[in-house]
Structure 1
Amino acid sequence: MKKKFTFLALIASFNLAANYAHPITPAYFKLWHLDSAMFGYAFAVMSLGMFLGSPFFGELAKSINARILMAGGSIGYSLAQVLFALGHTPGIILWGRLLAGIACGAFFVGALTYIANTSLADERGANLTLNATVQTVFGALGYFIGGIIGSFDLMWTFSLQIVQLFVTGILFYFLLVDDLANPEKLNLKKACQSLTFIPRLAPKDAPLSRLLWGLLGVSVLTFLGYTAFDQSFNYYLKDVFDLSSSYNGTFKGAVGLISLVANMTFGMFLVKKTDLKRSTPVILGACALFMGAVLFSPNLLIFFSLNLVFYAFYAVSVPMVQDLITNQATPKTQSTVLGFYQASQSFGRIIGAFIAGILYDLNNLIPFSLGAVSFLIAALVIQFLKKS
């Protein structure tokens, strides 16, 4: 993989900055007396932006080098956070979230495309695992840093995030190399047609197409479940236990360390040494088990412990699902598949965040149940696909 260390360092910087604001968002919404469902709506709108943008950028990735997409995504996210930080009304906040989602669509499609285009076939799975590990670990560290800074002043957190995202975007453009040897002629009409979500990924191979769509469905379910769980968890700590943002950040920092160990040992072993169609359902089933167990936590210590185990299994599952989907792509359809994989993530996030925001008002434990059921169904779907 070309410029691997530089790429991973910049991925780390982006994920650090992108997560600074997450632990302070509940306090930010409460500061402006916004409805408790707002945390779900805001994340759902951001995910909508990613959902709309990802297939579009997947098509553009055939003509535009991935470093440009990552640079534009990082800088665009920085500018969108200005709106989020200064917007004290639901309308402005949601516009900022939508633009942030579109920018993230460009960034994450660019990152996956860069890995796919610059990795040898036998190292792609390992590089996807490294990328997912860096995202998880430094995303968690970003939670920790943002939570600590936000306990002093919320605007300090936003300011650091905006500056770091902007600088990181510039570095992506100048420090990485081109990944396209023979870029296609830019076709904006075709890219815009991808927004209809009717791609022809394998027109002459119906079984492959059905398998691919089934795996994209698994991606939707896992991100639906994770988002319903994670967004509710963040708000739950503030709403039920009245813990400061520093507690949220500290916990996510611990998640990062555990995820690092889990992915670099157990996760790497699974990707390299096992049949993912057999091992992935087991990992997704474990996610469902520990997420469901959270519902029966008798005290805060056990609540935190079960959550840590869930996050570790979830971190391991992400590159496994990514690799299963990426393996279904041909060189010709690779960028399109990655764009729609990113869109499937976003679609799951939209549903998960929106439903979590509504269900949380009814009962603050229902979103956790929804998450567990989603992971269980995802495991069963792969079991079914394995036999087809």
Structure 2
Amino acid sequence: MSSYISSKKMYIFLAVVALESLAANFAHPITPTLIKNLNLPDYMFGVAFAGMSFTNFLFSPFWAKMVNRISSRLTLLICCCGYGVGQLMFMLSTQQGTILIARLVSGFFVGGVFVSFLTYVINKGDPQTRGKFLALSATCTTVFGAFGYLIGGFVGVVSIPITFMLQAGTLILSGILFYILLEDDKKHIEERFSFKRDANPFKAFIDSKQFMTKLFAVLFCIVFLTSLASTTYDQCFNYYIKDAFDFNSSYNGTLKAVVGFISLLANTTICLWIMRNTDVRKSLVYIFFGASTCLFLIFLLGDIAPFILVNIIFFAFNAMYIPLVQDLCARNSDDSNSSMVMGFYNALKSLGMVCGGLFAGFIYGVGPKLSFLFASIFFMVALILMVFYRNRQIAKERIESSNLS
């Protein structure tokens, strides 16, 4: 009975995650149009995204520590409202400098949102269902993020300012709902808050030595590379279809909605089946290979129809790897360090977003499709590291098993 109640509460949490994910993506399809309308350089689409990702990266470990002190529900209230304010600042920005400041503000709060998502699932979910709800949380973020693109794309055709105001309002509503509906999961911490210790993002990175091992380091390298690949691709794709095919924001949103259906199907069937019935590490090797192959084909293709088709196939692979990698990180953590592990996971993921956004923005001037080629290479390197990680972990498990016997 308690397990049923716990699962029911987790589904309520996922419903609000879905609402926040919708809102978080309203502005993405209109960003290329905004940059074009302001006559800013092409690289600004990457620089603006990298700015948000930078503060996300820098402060994710900080938010991981704050979640334990003030709870996920309060962190989500603060961060969703702060994210909404940051987007209103983005709406009012007309110069490169003010746009970058607005993105830095948004990124600071976004880090707390994603860390709280992961930490709440680990803290409140049953150990038997933790992997399932991590997968469902990632699915909600991906699928409803795609529908957020759809809504933002069509509203953006009518009015860019209205899109931003809708986004800010929905983000603030999400924060209020999180605070009202979630349970308290803060941990009892004896020591008092110290700004120097708890608000120092670099100190939080140093603290990662408490759980870091060589195998964990390899796994986090995979997190970084896959995030780098996905962001390099995604930022280029959004701008490329506007620049090369002159698609307006509604086309961008419609494509993302189609991708959302495919991601939902892939994550609620194939991804959950992989978790329950296969060695996740081995399955990820095949997923990375599929993603790398699709990206290489995208680089080669020029016609619109096959280009769009292969992109849609790629999004299925791209959606599946995220919950599987999250599950590997969660499996290797315990109750004493789970929030720090997931905070570090989000930090490395955000670092990949920083580098991917900058890389995509600046390499676009060299060749509009080069981002697709390099994203393919990044996934292939992640594949090689996953093979190494799996082999070393299996060897380690055999040694531990022989010692016990």
Q: What TM bracket, shorter-length normalisation?
A: over 0.9
**What is the CA–CA distance in structure 2 between the aligned matches of 1:210 and 1:194, rounded to whole Å?**
22
User: 2:259·2:316 contact (CA, 8 Å) conserved in 1?
Assistant: yes
- Which structure has the larger Rg over C-alpha atoms? 2
Q: What are the superposed Cα offsets for residues 25-45 of structure 1, whole Å, 9 maximum, x if unpaired?
A: 000011111110000000001
Query: 1:198 Cα deviation (Å)?
Result: 1.9
User: How many angstroms does 1:59 deviate by?
Assistant: 1.4
Task: Check whether the contact 1:51–1:347 (CA below 8 A) recurs between aligned residues.
Answer: yes
One-letter code aligned to 2:36: K
Kept in 1: contact 2:222–2:386 (CA 8 A):
yes
Matches within 5 A, 1:268-347: 268-347=272-351
Cα RMSD (Å)? 1.4
Partners of 2:284 and 2:191 in 1: how far apart? 38
Structure 1 runs not aligned, ≥5 long: none
Q: Matches of residues 197-216 of structure 1 in structure 2 within 5 Å? A: 197-202=205-210, 209-216=213-220
Matching residue of 1:228 = 232
Match of 2:145 in 1: 139
1:23, distance to aligned residue in structure 2 (A): 0.3
In the TM superposition, residue 239 of structure 1 has moved relative to its aligned partner by 0.4
Tell me the equivalent position of 1:75: 81
Q: Please report how far the alpha carbon of residue 185 of structure 1 lies from its aligned counterpart in structure 2 after TM superposition.
A: 4.3
Partners of 1:228 and 1:355 within 8 A in 2 = yes
Provide the rounded CA distance (Å) in 1 between the counterparts of 2:283 and 2:56.
29
Kindly indicate whether residue 258 of structure 2 is the aligned counterpart of residue 254 of structure 1.
Answer: yes
Q: Distance in 2 between the 1:370 and 1:82 partners?
A: 34
Counterpart for residue 379 of structure 1: 383
Structure 1 residues 194 and 28: CA distance shift in structure 2, 3 A: closer
1:193 CA drift (Å): 4.5
What do the CA deviations read for 1:149-178 (whole angstroms, capped 9, x no partner)? Answer: 111111111111111111111111111111
Task: Give the CA deviation at 1:5.
Answer: 2.2
Unaligned runs of 5+ in 2: 1-5, 393-405
**Is contact 1:201-1:333 (8 Å) kept?**
no
Distance change (3 Å), C-alpha of 1:186 and 1:380: farther
Alpha carbons of structure 1 residues 176 and 114: separation in structure 2 relative to 1, 3 Å? same
Structure 1 residue 62 displacement after superposition: 2.1
Give, as a single letter, the amino acid of the residue that structure 1 aligns with 2:207: P
Deviation at 1:236, TM superposition (A): 0.3
- The whole-number CA distance in structure 1 between the counterparts of 2:169 and 2:347 is 27
> How far did residue 183 of structure 1 move?
4.9
Structure 2 distance, partners of 1:46, 1:384, is: 32
CA contact (8 A) 1:63 1:185 kept: no
Match of 1:192 among 178, 194, 199: 199
1:300 CA drift (Å): 0.6
Alpha-carbon distance in 2 for matches of 1:97, 1:34? 16
- C-alpha separation between the residues in 2 aligned to 1:60 and 1:190? 11
The 1:221/1:274 distance shift into structure 2, 3 A limit, reads same
Question: What is the one-letter code of the residue matched to 1:191?
Answer: D
CA 29–324 in structure 1, closer or farther in 2 if over 3 Å, else same: same
SS in 1 for 2:365: helix
Shift of residue 266, structure 1, vs aligned partner:
0.3
Percent sequence identity is: 38
Q: Is the contact between residue 71 and residue 187 of structure 2 (CA under 8 Å) also seen in structure 1?
A: no
Q: CA separation in 2, counterparts of 1:201 and 1:55?
A: 13
Offset from partner CA, 1:330-374 (integer Å, 9 cap, x none): 211111111100000100001111011010011001111111111
Matched, 1:47 2:62: no
Q: Which residue of 1 aligns with 2:129?
A: 123
Aligned residue number for residue 399 of structure 2: none
Output one character per residue of 1:168-210: Cα deviation in whole Å (capped at 9) or x when no partner: 111111111112364554533432345242224446xxxx711
| Change in 2 beyond 3 A, CA 1:170/1:184 | farther
Matches within 5 A, 1:24-103: 24-103=30-109
2: CA distance between counterparts of 1:184 and 1:382? 39
Which moves more between the two structures, 251-260 or 68-77?
A: 68-77
Q: Using the alignment, how far apart are the partners of 2:277 and 2:127 within structure 1?
A: 15
Instruction: Please state how far the C-alpha of 1:298 moved relative to its aligned partner.
Output: 3.9
Residues 237-259 of structure 1: CA deviation (Å, up to 9, x unaligned): 11000011110000000000000
Instruction: Give matches, 1:365-376, under 5 Å.
Output: 365-376=369-380
> Aligned equivalents of 2:100 and 2:192: distance in 1?
31
CA 1:221–1:126: 2 relative to 1, 3 Å? same
Q: Is the contact made by 1:63 and 1:184 (CA closer than 8 Å) also made in structure 2?
A: no
Equivalent-residue separation in structure 2 for 1:47 and 1:347 (angstroms)? 7
Query: Structure 2 counterpart of 1:47, which letter?
Result: S
Once the two structures are superposed, what CA deviation does each residue of 1:200-226 show, in whole Å capped at 9, x if it has no partner?
A: 4446xxxx7111111111000001000
Distance 2:384 2:135 in 1: 23
- CA distance change for structure 1 residues 69 and 387 in 2, over 3 Å: closer, same or farther? same
Equivalent of 1:244 in 222, 240, 248: 248
Q: Per-residue CA shift, 1:228-278, capped at 9, x if unaligned?
A: 000000000110000111100000000000000000000110112111121
Give, in whole Å, the separation in 1 of the partners of 2:88 and 2:187: 36
Q: 1:154 aligns with which of 160, 168, 173?
A: 160
